[in-house]
Amino acid sequence: MFHFLLTEPIHEEGVKILQAEGNVRLAKGTDEETLIAELQDIDGVILRARGRMTRRVLESAPRLKVIGRHGVGVDNVDLEAATELGIQVVNTPHAVTEGVVEHTVGLMLDVAKRITYADRRLRAGDWEVRYRLSGRELRGRTLGVIGFGRIGRRVAQTCFYGFGMQILYTDVVSAPDLEQALGARRLALDDLLRTAEFITLHVPLLPETRHLLGEREFRLMRRDAILINCARGAVIDEKALYRALTEGWIAGAGIDVFEEEPTPADNPLLGLENLVATPHTATATEEALLNMALVAKDVVRVLKGEPPEYPVNTIR
């Protein structure tokens, strides 16, 4: 019988898979000391957004054999330490794609059409705001996609076929199939920033992508540019973003992720009328929550000595 730890609650279907193979426990907290105490008798853990599997945590987990990442990003797992210690890391690369794509497009529409702002003004009794507002249509606009992986490509397809947007992208790998199908053009980052009217981020958080967009990059953007971030908060320098929005370097932004999560209630970004923010909920759809919880299948496979379907690291 195996022992499983959930750092946060997951969909009941994932819990059932684990319960069929052993005991399931919900962690009392996600700080480092609590995780070390909780992991002493644990064979497999399912990790959501909170909590970090640091080297110290991993070295203090004598029975741990597998970490199931409830989602795609693994920036809260020390992959080098996990691999050295023989701990398999698995994730759910396909589970969140549609949820994030739709959320990205939703934020684009919200910021461009000023939907949230109009809602706030109307609730405050300001019907006359309808005469002061002027939104922007997406059709025919230029979209710049930073990171042309699974999610970035789907955003591009959705915006091309749905709104007739012109597609620019930057990535370390070219996408000749979508260049042909969508007329997409691959540009260097600086050129994309100078050109695109809408810019959306879909890169993982790595040392080389931390603060990928800072003051220099914001100053390169068009003054009418709208920025969307449903990737990771630290890909953007929030202080630079605040200046860009308050000083008019760019027109607006929609963000689902923050450098610090949960973000403090007094985060100055939250007071801006040209920013729409959501609390890391792009993946919070019924479908995505179910599919992410099914990482439990791979957790069980590993513990039974079977190869996982979606390995993140290689254990020899």
Which active-site residues does the annotation give?
Answer: 232, 261, 280
- Please name which of 168, 224, 170, 228 lies closest in space to residue 197, comparing C-alpha atoms: 224
Residues 6+ apart with CB under 8 A from 40: 60, 61, 62, 63
Q: What is the DSSP string of 44-63?
A: EEEE-SS--B-HHHHHT-TT
| DSSP state for residue 26 in the 8-state scheme | E
Report how far residue 23's alpha carbon sits from residue 289's, in angstroms, rounded to the nearest whole number.
21
Q: What do you get for the CA distance between the two ends of the chain, in Å?
A: 24
The strand pairing partners of 25, in sequence order, are: 5
Asked if residues 24 and 15 have their Cβ atoms less than 8 Å apart, the reply is yes
